[in-house]
Chain A
Amino acid sequence: EAGVAQSPRYKIIEKRQSVAFWCNPISGHATLYWYQQILGQGPKLLIQFQNNGVVDDSQLPKDRFSAERLKGVDSTLKIQPAKLEDSAVYLCASSLNFYPGQVQETQYFGPGTRLLVL
């Protein structure tokens, strides 16, 4: 079974530029997550999709970050314009399903996209 795919693996941009990341979850997984992992810290959830709908985007800086999962399969995360503090690894994860108010399904992570903003 193929794992979670992400691209690109690395990206270097200047501040105020735009950048987009792509994620393809495990086949059949309805739930997709985007995390930001700043160096030396654990992952922080940015946004969670259930199929093509948003379940939680409470920690997404909506003035500059956006994400979509139009057909309920792959997803893109965009930053526009980027700031220096956006330098981090952006991890995508997927799980079979999500049931509000019930225990979480196990999440499987992709290799991440390492972003450096200069």
Chain B
Amino acid sequence: GEDVEQSLFLSVREGDSSVINCTYTDSSSTYLYWYKQEPGAGLQLLTYIFSNMDMKQDQRLTVLLNKKDKHLSLRIADTQTGDSAIYFCAESGDDKIIFGKGTRLHILP
């Protein structure tokens, strides 16, 4: 079945760039998403990319998609303390969204 894999933890110094990686298995995925979840809150959609694109930039966020390798990444430039959260990668094909287990981003002072 479909699967989405992410590393569980990432520590980054404040002001540096964060890169969160994700791999997926469903070659028919049409949309790929990044969601952010802060403590005690629901998931907030950060950005998404169509599968026929290889890059999307939105302010401090850059999404890179390598469709051949089924690899998705989220780069956060100039990481701030407010970026501390769990980031979920998700993919959808025709019917449902499949989420990864999330990457916990920890910001070092």
Instruction: Check: B101 CB closer than 8 A to any chain A CB.
Output: yes
**A109 to B92, Cβ gap below 8 A?**
no
Binds A, one of B10-18, B38-46, B62-70: B38-46
**In the bound complex, CA of A27 to CA of B109 (Å):** 41
Q: Does A2 contact B (CB under 8 A)?
A: no
Residues in A whose Cβ lies below 8 Å from that of B34: none
Chain B residues with CB below 8 A from A107, complex form? 45, 97
- Complex: A6 Cα to B43 Cα, angstroms: 13
Q: Contact string, B34-58, partner A, CB cutoff 8 A, digits 1/0?
A: 0100001111110010000000000
How many A residues face the partner with a CB closer than 8 A? 25
Q: Which residues of B contact A43 (CB under 8 A)?
A: 43, 88, 99
Question: Quick check: A103 and B101 within 8 Å, CB to CB?
Answer: no
Q: Report the bound CA distance from A103 to B97 in whole Å.
A: 10
A103 vs B42: C-alpha distance when bound (angstroms)? 23
Contact B95 A42 (CB under 8 A): no
Question: Which residues of chain B have C-beta atoms less than 8 A from A102's C-beta?
Answer: 94
Instruction: Tell me which residues across on chain B come within 8 A of A72, comparing CB atoms.
Output: none
Q: Does B96 contact A (CB under 8 A)?
A: yes
Q: Mark A88-115 against chain B: 1 for CB-CB distance below 8 A, else 0.
A: 0001010000001111101111111010
With A107-B45, A109-B43, A110-B42 already in contact, the answer to whether A45 and B101 are too (CB < 8 A) is: no
Select which of A40, A41, A100, A108 is within 8 A of B94 by beta carbon: A100
Q: Which A residues lie within 8 Å of B31 (CB)?
A: 103-104
Given contacts A104-B31, A107-B97, contact A42 B4 (CB under 8 A): yes
Residue of B nearest to A104 (CB): B92
A114 to B41, CA, bound (A): 10
B42 engages A45 (CB within 8 Å): no
Instruction: State the Cβ distance, A3 to closest chain B Cβ, in Å.
Output: 8
- In the complex, besides A42-B88, A103-B31, 13 extra interface pairs with C-beta distance below 8 angstroms are A42-B90, A42-B102, A43-B88, A48-B96, A91-B43, A93-B43, A101-B95, A102-B94, A104-B96, A106-B45, A109-B43, A109-B44, A112-B42
